[in-house]
Copies of this chain bind each other. A is one copy, B any other.
Amino acid sequence: MPSIVLSLSCPDRPGIVHGMTGLLVAHGGNITESQQYGDPDTGRFFLRIEADIPGDIGALQGPVDELARQFDGHIDLTEANRPIKTVIMGSTTSHCLTDLLYLQRMGRLPIEVTRVVSNHDRLRPIADFYGAPYTHIPFSKDRRAEAEAELMGIVEDTGAELIVLARYMQVLSPELCHRMAGSIINIHHSFLPSFKGARPYQQAHDRGVKIIGATAHYVSEDLDEGPIIEQDVERVSHALSAADLQAIGENVERRVLARAVKWHAEGRVLRNGERTVVFP
């Protein structure tokens, strides 16, 4: 029996869960997982349901759209475990890219890597090893428009639904951020909102913090500012150099980014203004 994921975001009011589950009951569905959250601050309601459904999933689309209209909200209906078409972007450091490709290969990440894109050519052997097509798009300030046009061409040609910035070291244009809003995930190498900007491990070292971290977030037009998806940390001590912090930090970065991509791909992350609702 096929499985589906329904993700709903709408203004909170009585009857939403009852309506949604009624639709499933009417189609013979059986809920296998469900999580919900009503935000008292914003008055928004969020619901994620996984269900087994007999017969054709397509038949649900009409009733689901009707329900979305009725609740004045937005409902995503997708097949469960469908691999999300993903472009991964990197620059020169390989730890995040390697981990995403490895976990995808092992069946731990429900994504399909339609292209690895980099402004350098250094990561190509890794992509080759994991069988991911690789495109080198040189980047410089005076050819940013062409570079982004080429990137968007790849996104469109490959039907990519998600861009993952796996330590990609260039800033995307506001237009691109806006166009792919909610579909670009970045890993920032600090525990945001601490140590924004460049060289966060050096900053952390200079400040003498006892714990370092990493933050996966959706990219908004403000650099290092979009909605946070996941964070994690590790204890450190005075005895570690900035380079040591970086080596430890890279391990934190790759696990935080992998979790964020997994949860996004499984429809577990819903936008709530400048925050996220995560149903892990």
**A-to-B contact residues, CB < 8 Å:** 12-15, 17-18, 21-22, 24-25, 28-40, 94-95, 98, 102, 106, 108, 125, 129, 191-195, 206-211, 213, 227-233, 235, 237-239, 241, 247, 251, 255, 272, 274-278
Contact = CB atoms under 8 A, between A and B. Distances in A.
Contacts of A31: 14, 17, 36, 38
Contact of A210 (B12, B195, B211, B230): B230
B38 A33 contact: yes
Contacts of A194: 191-194
Contacts of A36: 31, 34-35
A25 B15 contact: yes
Counting every copy of the chain, the complex holds 4
A210 B232 CA distance: 8
A48 to B, nearest CB: 11
Given A193-B207, A239-B37, A251 B255 contact: yes
Nearest to A278: B238
A40 to B, nearest CB: 7
Given A191-B191, A233-B211, A238 B34 contact: no
A35 B35 contact: yes
A33 B239 contact: yes
A216 to B, nearest CB: 9
Contact of A275 (B30, B208, B230): B208
Contacts of A15: 21, 25
A101 to B, nearest CB: 10
A278 B13 CA distance: 26
A22 B18 contact: yes
B193 A211 contact: no
Given A106-B95, A195-B193, A228-B208, A241 B25 contact: no
Query: Top 8 closest A-B pairs, CB basis?
Result: A208-B275, A18-B21, A210-B231, A194-B194, A14-B30, A17-B21, A238-B277, A129-B129
